[in-house]
Chain A
Amino acid sequence: SYVLTQTPSVSVAPGKTARIPCGGDNIGRKSVHWYQQKPGQAPVLVIYSDSDRPSGIPERFSGSNSGNTATLTISRVEAGDEADYYCQVWDSSSDHYVFGTGTKVTVL
């Protein structure tokens, strides 16, 4: 089955840029989505189809996808961005939805 691998943790200073990678075999050929989950809350979709933002999501959140790595980028990081972030794809070969292992973003 398809596997998505994420770095367990990323630390970033306020005002700086956080880059959160998501690795998968030829992931560049798939459509990647990203979710933010704060403690005790349900996940929230922040990026869909590699780089599109749902309404209400700040422009500071952006995404890219190429080769074997998709990346969520958070610019001008704020304390409120501290959360777990998950990538997700649809694997048509198995008819399964797949989530990445998750990355905890800590704002220093």
Chain B
Amino acid sequence: EVQLVESGGGLVQPGGSLRLSCTASGFSFNTYSMKWVRQAPGKGLEWVSYISSASETFYYADSVKGRFTISRDNAKNSLYLQMNSLRDEDTAVYYCATDGRASTFDYWGQGTLVTVSS
């Protein structure tokens, strides 16, 4: 069974940093590209970032480019999102998801809440 478990969320002040983790199990993590998606309270889904299986290709949403960095450790079956210069508008539940063959988001974690507030 595919499992994705996010962690690392919490309360942080504007301008601060946070590192999210996503631990994967139940599939060959090192063969899958991965993505982060976020959802602000009461709002819709927003794609954040993408990383290929061997960390060769990276994509970022315009809203986070230059502030967020996606990375992975295939030996640890883990995906990360380093978030710097956080803003109020980064407040959201952050989900990690597997990338499907058709550019879909096939499997999702349960999400971790990031709150940016003074």
Chain A interface residues (CB < 8 Å from chain B): 1, 31, 33, 35, 37, 42-45, 48-49, 54, 84, 86, 88-90, 95-102
Contact with A along B82-103 (1 / 0, CB 8 A): 0000000000000100001011
Does B102 lie within 8 Å of A31, measured CB to CB? yes
B61 in contact (CB, < 8 A): yes
Does B62 lie within 8 Å of A48, measured CB to CB? no
**CB within 8 A of B47: which of A33, A97, A101?**
A97
Does A102 lie within 8 Å of B44, measured CB to CB? yes
B35 in contact (CB, < 8 A): yes
Given contacts A42-B109, A43-B108, contact A97 B44 (CB under 8 A): no
Distance (whole angstroms) from the CB of B27 to the closest CB of chain A: 15
Does A1 lie within 8 Å of B62, measured CB to CB? yes
B residues in contact with A95, CB < 8 Å = 59
Interface size bucket, B side? Answer: 20 to 34
A residues in contact with B46, CB < 8 Å = 99
B32 in contact (CB, < 8 A): no
**CB within 8 A of A31: which of B50, B103, B106?**
B103
Q: Is the interface of A mostly helix, strand, loop or mixed?
A: strand
Bound Cα distance from A98 to B87, whole angstroms: 22
Contact with A along B52-71 (1 / 0, CB 8 A): 00000001011000000000
Does A42 lie within 8 Å of B62, measured CB to CB? no
B25 in contact (CB, < 8 A): no
Does A99 lie within 8 Å of B47, measured CB to CB? yes
Contact with A along B37-54 (1 / 0, CB 8 A): 100000011110010000
Distance (whole angstroms) from the CB of B26 to the closest CB of chain A: 15
**CB within 8 A of A33: which of B50, B102, B108, B109?**
B102
B31 in contact (CB, < 8 A): no
A residues in contact with B100, CB < 8 Å = 45, 48
Bound Cα distance from A28 to B62, whole angstroms: 25
A residues in contact with B102, CB < 8 Å = 31, 33, 48-49
B residues in contact with A45, CB < 8 Å = 100, 104-106
Residue on A nearest B93 in the bound complex, by CB: A42
Offer 20 A-B interface pairs, CB within 8 angstroms, sorted by A.
A33-B104, A42-B108, A42-B110, A43-B45, A44-B108, A45-B100, A45-B104, A45-B105, A48-B104, A54-B106, A84-B44, A89-B103, A97-B103, A97-B105, A98-B47, A99-B37, A99-B44, A100-B44, A101-B44, A102-B44
